[in-house]
Amino acid sequence: MNTHKLSILFVISTSRKRKDSRASLMCRLTYAKVRKTFATGLFINPDHWNSKQQLVKPPELDSEYINSQLSLIKTKINRAFLMLQVKEERFNVGDIYSLYKGKKTQKEHNVVEYFESYLKKLKTLINIDIKQVTWNKFNYIKKDVKSFVKWKFKTNDYPLKKLELQPPQVVALKHTICNCI
């Protein structure tokens, strides 16, 4: 389970000042020492911003509305963070932002992890569609796959996304041979 803390900070982007001297209010998420900054869509006068309390001071037009919007943003982000923690799967700051925006997060599977989940599904089919001996063979193969990943990639597991069907050198060699013929 993740033990990192989520930090939500609202900051003024002075580089995004408008002609009426109002600046864009940005939200900065920090999780596991990784930052994600995005625009809140709110603009305020930088002189009316209290950075310690993370609130807009009253001389600002619509200060109550802006403060309630900031509170709403913070609540939605915290809810997304909580939902990801409940799943007890690995996630990053990008996943928190995606869930806050309403996008579905898709878990990236690893080779050994996926093979183990496949074996769990197969185990339910023993004596229905497959025999115990077949499942034992698949389990044996999992051990080989695990040792190969450890040897080849120097890690316990490797993302499925990063796997290539053929190494680029083989593809280049095939291309060279085909051009010669």
* Out of 35-44, 53-62, 69-78, 167-176, least confident range: 167-176
DSSP state of 110: B
d(CA 106, CA 103): 9
Supply the pLDDT for residue 173. 46
Which of 6-10, 81-85, 113-117 holds the top average pLDDT? Answer: 6-10
Within 8 A by CB and 6+ apart from 58, the residues are 48
Is residue 126 scored above 50 in pLDDT?
yes
- What are the extents of the domains in the chain? 6-100, 111-180
Rounded-to-10 torsion of CA 168, 170, 173, 175: -70
Q: Is the pLDDT of residue 174 over 60?
A: no
The residue with greater pLDDT, 152 or 3, is 152
pTM of the model: 0.60
Backbone angles phi, psi at 40, to 5 degrees: -85, -20
Question: CA separation (Å) from 108 to 103, 158, 159?
Answer: 15, 10, 7
What DSSP character marks residue 104? P
Is the confidence at residue 89, as pLDDT, over 80? Answer: no
Q: At 21, is the pLDDT very low, low, confident or very high (cuts 50, 70, 90)? A: confident
Mean pLDDT within 4-25: 89
Lowest-confidence region among 19-23, 33-37, 51-55 = 19-23
The H or E element that residue 53 is part of is: none
